[in-house]
Structure 1
Amino acid sequence: MRTITVLLRHELRLLASLLLWVGRRRHGVGEGRAFGYARGQGAVMAGFGFVCLIETFTMSVLLRDWPAWHTAMLILDVYTLFLLAGVYAAWQVRPHVLNDDGGTLRVRHAAHVDLRIPLDRIAAVRHETRSTHERADGELNLAVGSQTSVTLELTEPVAHVTFLGRRRDVDVVRLHADDARDLVRELVRVVRPGRNVPSPSPDPPG
């Protein structure tokens, strides 16, 4: 039952994201500065959508003599298209948000990750392009197109709640931003004075 509730909430967030996207609005930005992370992913999602449309047409032809199966597959295909559109919309309307006044960096990934990191917990930040990520305790990797471009190291863990509600404490967060250098530069500027927050040259891709 809990899993069903989580899935329903996620789908409601996807629906809300679609409505915001159509209305050209963004979620949770307010007075903060937004940093997108889905540039260039439109073509990928459009490709998936096209494949789904072809599959829908093919199955409608193959199942035309079995109305019940035809209806079931049509519903499933429409649902899949809704999910694809919702995820893409969530990427667009739920960016990362740097809030100077609130002292937080809000790290997001579509509609299923929304992590607030207090700026005073950031020990180091760097522009670091990685294309491989191994799961490790205390690390959260939020790749887009299998890539992250910003690495945050924290002085103490923050709580990340997984999609199904499990709590994980993380002290290293890797994320992607379209303007990764700008995000790193802004983080260096706003992290509390006196803390050494280096921003080295980009590392070679991992």
Structure 2
Amino acid sequence: MAVTQKEIQYSVGIEDLYICMMATEPADAVPTFNEDIYKQTNITDLTISTTSTNFTKWASNKKIINITKNTAFGLAFNLAGLNREVKDKIFGKTRTKGISFETAAAKEYPKFAVGVIFPLNDGTKLARWYPRCTVAPVEESWKTQNEEMTVDDIAYTITADPLLFNDNTVAELDTGAAEAAGVTVEDFLKQVVFDESQIETLFPTTP
């Protein structure tokens, strides 16, 4: 056997946030998204958690099956603000002459795709689309300013669920992978990527 030592990669930060509203989501067909993709330079930090279940099977005194199923991702963003138009869209607010109303009735928040970029130490980047997201209500805090001006982050909790069409929860591009074949982060984030069938159409192989 040959022993090979490879360079390690690690995250050196997080870049812009991308949001694209979902237009339709049939259960038996591909979802559609609005043409507008909103890019925001506002992420202070992001914590990604999983909602997973484990199944194990023992036989003949041995663990013969160990299966993990991840049903959703939790995206906990701290954002240094958010554009008012984007914020109204993800919370489903409709304004008349600038005025909106909240009721106590049950409601379902709009679905949208979230894109994020993670630069790595070797100059490559990871880019991800979470295609089926919803936001949770946020806690707000307003306070007076003093001589030492501060801009507090706002915490947004977003849940990335699997798509009805194909069960996909995230699509990821690694620009450092040998198979990336020149696909750039900019190419990847021009549209929401959510299914393997899109790859050859969006990123055709050049001779």
Q: Compute the TM-score of the two structures, normalised by the length of structure 2.
A: 0.27
Q: Compute the TM-score of the two structures, normalised by the length of structure 1.
A: 0.27
Greater helix fraction, Structure 1 or Structure 2? 1
Greater strand fraction, Structure 1 or Structure 2? 2
